[in-house]
Structure 1
Amino acid sequence: MEHLDVLIVGAGLSGIGAAYRLQTRCPDRTYAVLEARDALGGTWDLFRYPGVRSDSDMFTLGFPFHPWKAAKAIADGPAILDYLYVTASTYGIDKHIRFGQRVARASWSSAEALWTVETGDSVYTCSFLYVCSGYYDYDAGYVVDFPGQSSFEGRIVHPQHWPADLDYTGQRVVVIGSGATAVTLVPAMAGTAEHVTMLQRTPSYVASRPARDAFSDRLRAVLPENLAHRLIRGKNVALSTALYSAFRKWPAHAAWLLNAGVARELPESIPVDPHFTPQYKPWDQRLCLVPDADLFKALRDGSASVVTDEIERFTPRGVLLRSGMELEADLVVTATGLRMVALGNIQVTVDGRSVAPHDTFVYKGMMLSGVPNLAWCIGYTNNSWTLRSDLTSQYVCRLLNHLTATGTRICVPEVDPAEYDAPPRPVVDLSSGYIRRAAAILPRQGSQGPWRLRQNYPRDLVTLRFGPVEDGVMQFVA
């Protein structure tokens, strides 16, 4: 049994950032990063489907302490993975990662003020447990059992586990879905396949933007690297925050603006309604990004098409739709979404009591009510993941240093549900299908105070970096 002051679970974007903050702001604390897989990178190592890329600019998705230097602001998966490897190596974080260590159970003892963390073949103890594995299920995506799938004579794949031997050259491809994965796959495959059809039951809001940021390129050409990086990050944060606030305040105007942008890109043969006119308000679901209008270029040149309909059943030759149309296919890609998990599916107990995440409230977007010395790192849905995850890691370091300074060993947020004037909501408050399906397992948030997870970086920056650690809600025990 090995003891460390802090255990970080997950060696992806969040875990690497957490390790850097920990070793620079709490240098006297020992730590290790437990990674279930055999490689670092998390999401960016898992997803290998064609065209996989960021849907946030890399100046904010990248780390503030290690500036993004590549030309493209919207980067592909391999470039992001390489960036993570370089970051981990540059700061010696890779030496702290224990691969093949999937955390199965974590048990807290108040008497000892320790977590006992069990993996498949090892047992650790730690004073603080920091779960940085995100909220996606890495083992399997969301799979829909469409009628007649077994009769289909072609191949069916899910993007989450893309086969390395898959050759779709000259094939007829149907991509089922309308989310970020689908709008990425369609243009990426269109240049190689005979034809790619994006089949969607309901459309999503789509916005196009350049993969390179001309303003940022000019700044980086004339200013010192670190200064340029800070200015670019500030500009991108301000712009994205303002747009999100405006879209939420004036959804009808936002919908018109988005639809008008799509209409300018589409060929006359493809109407905006119904193919790109969602029934929900902008930012009720995450906005799909199309860098350099690549999806629309594929639709204009005829290498791709979009069909809005419902699936009746699979046939030996393809997919039969409710309208009676049959889409012939050699390959069907089911971009039907992801599955969510809470706390990396770790079985958590506190003094012998099993903790169901859904029964807890999230404190300051990171800690769970009634669960001592544990934080869960999640990012923004309306902005770059790292903006929020880095704030969380900085706050965790503030909390650890406060424990040392006050001679206390335990910190636990305690909630009084009677304080709320509105029903609790899932911690990720969007109407997307993958979130609705996980509502029964996710921790909840309240309507006010530290129990509300705001999608507002400037406000969180002030609260988490400068707000008091002792706020009357967080309880400290010697």
Structure 2
Amino acid sequence: MSVSSGTSALRSETRDVDVLIIGAGISGIGAAYQLKTQRPGTSFLIVEGRDAIGGTWSLHKYPGIRSDSDMPTFSFGFKPWTHRKAIADGHIILDYLQQAVDENGLDEHIRFGHRVQNANFDSGSGRWTVTTTQGDETTTFTGRFLFLGTGYYDYEKPFIPDFPGVEDFAGPVIHPQLWPEDLDYAGKKVVVIGSGATAVTLLPAMADKAGHITMLQRSPSYVLSVPGSDPITNALNKVLGHERAYPIVRRKNIAVIRGQFKLCMKFPTLMRKLLIANVARKLPKGFDVDTHFTPRYNPWQQRLVVVPDGDLFKTIKAGKGSVVTDEIERFTTRGILLKSGQELEADIVVTATGLNMAAFGKIALSVDDQALNLPDHTVYKAMMVSDVPNMAFAMGYTNLAWTLKVELVCEHLCRLLDHMDDHGYDTVTPVPENADMERSPLMDMSSGYIQRGIRQFPRAGDSGAWVFKHAYEMDAERLRNGPIEDPGLQFSSVKTAAYAS
């Protein structure tokens, strides 16, 4: 038997493990690495609904897709980022993730093409049963612990507003999440609807090939130009080498980004002026910055939009792209009629209108066959859910790199499992000490996708381990350095013949 066929047979037979990881994106890969290195005796599987790793980075195919965080903080702590680009293209990130999988032998633990439908925890056996579909086939996996690395948005259904008259438009209307790889936009007039990270990415990425590209926005976002390659980072890498420079660069970048965020929170008026002035310096003299780049909200009420080396502004200065701030009256055969009366002609319209959120991958979760209504539950230490045994999840930061939060959660999960093994516990369940505590949404930003979707998630509490803040310092203290034992955790042992077998 060849090695490949042996591996295939092993993969098809292994369905019962200590930890079931759902999702082979950044969160799932991070969890698998921590389990393999920190708990080498722990068996685990990654169950992935698609046929590739990478989550967002293998799903999205639109031109120019790139990180909106600097890569030394967005990459894994266990694998230094060695590319010169600090804001990296999607394919470079995907290559990096594949290297992380290959270098750590994680590929043999992944089961592709299994879309998780439901997951039930049985108190009698102390185990989860996860049901997946693969075409017409149904498969069950079982595990002691469930880790949800599912992100927080809907992979199948992006947010597309119901634009009046869209059926009258003669050309294609495309959402970036559903980008056709064979789309030919050479020489075409393209209108991109939106003002967020995707729209701001598409403008410079498509400008050289398109005849002209226009970003049509209802209202502006804060746009921040950052170096595409960080000279300090590259200098440290050259002098110290990647392994020694990496932790220094990470600490520097975290401090800079967190410092910027705190300044925005404390001095919103001053930071607003500075951010807008920075944009004005990069645009042609006389450009209407007040209309097109002056948001209605304070900095960090929505995520800042990052552009490497000011590429958006360079595209506008070169006359290859333009920005229109107005509202849509309706689509026409030739393009889009605006409420001002102007008609934007277009051959192609791209609706960079955002995403839909989906709580925990839309998996139907239950305990002892009783379905969970997630908004009724409260999040514990930003990684577990009240009254749900042996389950953890990863939800990254809105104001910092996603991966930083994932690593803290995965480290704490390993410490939690160590504690349970040391004391002979089989289950752990977060239970609020005060059932009447005040609760609030997990995200309080004004972004449309959050306002539309955050109500389907569990909520945050107002004290102790039930507080949920997008604050790296707080999470590092309680997840990396804080004790496992806590009044909000209940541990127990399962002693049944079924479990013993």
| TM above 0.5 | yes
Between the aligned partners of 1:70 and 1:268, the Cα distance in structure 2 is: 35
**Residue among 490, 493, 496 paired with 1:475:** 490
Task: Specify the code of the residue in structure 2 equivalent to 1:339.
Answer: N
- Is 1:448 aligned to 2:448, yes or no? no
Structure 1 window deviating more from structure 2 (437-446 vs 34-43): it is 437-446
The residue that corresponds to 1:410 in the other structure is 427
Amino acid at match of 2:156: D
1:94 aligns with 2:83: no
Secondary structure in structure 2 of the residue aligned to 1:5: strand
Q: What do residues 274-328 of structure 1 show as CA deviations (whole Å, max 9, x unaligned)? A: 2111111111111100111000001111111101100000000000000100000
Distance 1:195 1:417, change over 3 A: farther
| Aligned counterpart for 2:54 among listed residues 41, 44, 48 | 41
Corresponding position: 1:298 with 2:307: no
Instruction: Please point out which of 385, 394, 400 is paired with 1:383.
Output: 400
Aligned match for 1:439, one of 451, 454, 462? 454
Report what 1:72 is aligned to. Answer: 85
Secondary structure of residue in 2 paired with 1:104: strand
Deviation at 1:446, TM superposition (A): 2.0
Q: Equivalent residue for 1:122?
A: 139
State how far apart, in whole Å, the 2-side matches of 1:407 and 1:414 are.
20
The one-letter code sitting in structure 2 at the alignment partner of 1:263 is A
Taking the TM superposition and a 5 Å limit, the aligned residue runs for 1:136-175 are 136-175=153-192
Q: Which residue of 2 is the match for residue 176 of structure 1?
A: 193
C-alpha offsets along residues 234-261 of structure 1, whole Å, 9 cap, x if unaligned?
1001111111111111111111111010
Paired residue for 1:457? 472
Q: Distance in 2 between matches of 1:66 and 1:39?
A: 20
What is the CA–CA distance in structure 2 between the aligned matches of 1:281 and 1:364, rounded to whole Å?
A: 28
CA contact (8 A) 2:47 2:111 kept: yes
- 1:225 CA drift (Å): 2.3
* In 1, Cα distance between equivalents of 2:417 and 2:160: 41
Mapping of residues 192-231 of structure 1, within 5 Å: 192-231=209-248
Please give the secondary structure, in 2, of the residue aligned with 1:6.
strand
Cα shift at 1:428: 2.4
Given residue 211 of structure 1, which amino acid in structure 2 is its aligned partner? G
Task: Name 1:315's counterpart in structure 2.
Answer: 332
Distance 2:454 2:80 in 1: 36
Look up the SS of the partner of 1:126 in the other structure. Answer: strand
* Matched pairs, number: 476
Shift in Å, 1:272: 1.3
SS of 1:471's partner is coil
Quote the Cα distance in structure 2 between the aligned partners of 1:339 and 1:75: 24
Aligned equivalents of 1:449, 1:194: Cα separation in 2: 56
Find the aligned partners of 1:97 and 1:418 in 2 and give their Cα distance.
39
TM-score normalised by L of structure 2:
0.93
Amino acid in the other structure paired with 1:439: I
Paired AA for residue 48 in structure 2: E
- Equivalent residue number for residue 242 of structure 1: 259
What is the rounded CA distance, in whole Å, between the counterparts of 1:169 and 1:269 in structure 2?
30
- SS of 1:196's equivalent? strand
Corresponding residue SS for 2:454: coil
Deviates more, 1:390-399 or 1:409-418: 409-418
Of 55, 58, 61, which residue of structure 1 is paired with 2:74? Answer: 61
Output one character per residue of 1:316-343: Cα deviation in whole Å (capped at 9) or x when no partner: 0000000100000000000000011111
Summarize the Cα distance change of 1:463–1:351 in structure 2 as closer, same or farther, 3 Å threshold. same
Other-structure match for 2:11: none
Letter in 2 for 1:431: S
Q: Distance in 2 between the 1:74 and 1:201 partners?
A: 27
CA drift at 1:359: 1.3
Counterparts of 1:154 and 1:119, CA distance in 2: 39
Relative to structure 1, is the Cα distance of residues 5 and 418 closer, same or farther in structure 2, using a 3 angstrom cutoff?
closer
Q: Which residue of 2 aligns with 1:266?
A: 283
CA distance in 1, matches of 2:286, 2:347: 25
C-alpha deviation, 1:269, in angstroms = 4.4
Q: How far apart, CA to CA, are the structure 2 residues paired with 1:441 and 1:459?
A: 25
Using the alignment, how far apart are the partners of 2:142 and 2:206 within structure 1?
A: 47
Report the 3-state secondary structure (helix = DSSP H, G, I; strand = E; otherwise coil) of the residue aligned with 1:306.
strand
Task: Please give the per-residue CA displacement for 1:93-114, whole angstroms capped at 9, x wherever unaligned.
Answer: 1111000011110011111101
1:249-398 equivalences under 5 Å are: 249-398=266-415
Shift of 1:448: 2.7
Separation in 1, partners of 2:434, 2:330: 46
Gapped regions of structure 2 (runs ≥ 5)? 1-13, 494-501
Which residue does the alignment assign to 2:499? none
Report the TM-score, using the length of structure 1 for normalisation. 0.98
CA distance in structure 1 between the aligned counterparts of 2:297 and 2:332, rounded to whole angstroms: 32
Runs (5+) with no aligned partner, structure 1: none
1:82 equivalent in structure 2: 95
Q: CA deviation at 1:463?
A: 1.1
Post-superposition shift, 1:379?
Answer: 0.7
The amino acid across from 1:436 in the alignment is Q
Matched, 1:25 2:34: no
Contact 2:357–2:454 under 8 Å retained in 1: no
Deviation at 1:351, TM superposition (A): 1.2
Partners of 1:168 and 1:16 in 2: CA distance = 35
- Give SS of 1:198's match: strand
The alpha carbon displacement at 1:427 in A equals 1.4
**What percent of counterpart residues are identical?**
51
**Letter in structure 2 aligned against 1:391:** L
Letter in 2 for 1:464: L
Does the Cα contact within 8 Å between 2:433 and 2:487 map onto a contact in 1?
no
Could you tell which deviates more after superposition, 197-206 or 356-365?
Answer: 356-365
How big is each residue's C-alpha offset from its partner over 1:8-60, in whole Å with a ceiling of 9 and x where there is no partner? 00001111111000111111110000000001111000011000000111111
C-alpha separation in 2, matches of 1:416 and 1:275: 49
